[in-house]
Structure 1
């Protein structure tokens, strides 16, 4: 009964699943890139490029705590390839929105990640 609830899916398969599921969770015009985190087999790197005139790019690290729960860390925010202040209200609002969308996507993929 002490079997730990661990993620039991190949990282490449996981990244593929996120690539197909995440666009359903974010705004239609936004673009998401999902890559395996080469330094951590339980993590993915997600970049979300916002649509419209803002042209922000958000980099997140998504780490599976267990087969269902993820920890989302904001790595960087850029605008036109330059790092921007992440503390502004608009950026904080977008970070909160994208973090929520990432958690929603993790929930949607539970059928795959929770063996």
Structure 2
């Protein structure tokens, strides 16, 4: 049986809400760019740049499974414009932090996404 709890918010509105809400959850100085997925209206992409001298960038695909739950996929990690191995502990710690911030953003938007 299909879930009736589907995301009904237009992607453009969802992107705008994420652009407003995500920066409030990131570490001071980190920046994020949020944009819609061109093929999936229930998915967005998030590009996060770390603050400071690390020059790290993280790309995540965020897909709404339903109006409240998201699935997060790490797409790429770069340092100084070059893809890097994401397995070392310090990078894994950053990935974990950013995944938590993405979940917190989705939770903060429940009032908006859950009809």
Same fold (TM over 0.5): yes
Give the aligned partner of residue 87 of structure 1.
87
Q: Does 1:17 align with 2:26?
A: no
CA RMSD of aligned residues (A): 1.0
Give the aligned partner of residue 56 of structure 1.
56
Q: Does 1:39 align with 2:13?
A: no
**Structure 1 Cα separation of the partners of residues 93 and 15 of structure 2:** 26
Encode CA deviations 1:50-91: one digit per residue, 9 max, x unaligned: 000101000000000000000010000001110000101111
Task: Give the superposition deviation at 1:28.
Answer: 1.7
**Structure 1 Cα separation of the partners of residues 40 and 26 of structure 2:** 25
Q: Displaced runs of 4+ in structure 1, greater than 6 A?
A: none
SS at match of 2:27: coil
| Structure 2 portions without partners, runs of 5+ | none
Alpha-carbon spacing, 1:3–1:47, altered in 2? closer, same or farther (3 Å): closer
| Structure 1 portions without partners, runs of 5+ | none
**Structure 2 Cα separation of the partners of residues 28 and 20 of structure 1:** 15
Task: Give the superposition deviation at 1:3.
Answer: 6.3
SS at match of 1:62: strand
Alpha-carbon spacing, 1:3–1:91, altered in 2? closer, same or farther (3 Å): closer
Give the aligned partner of residue 113 of structure 1.
113
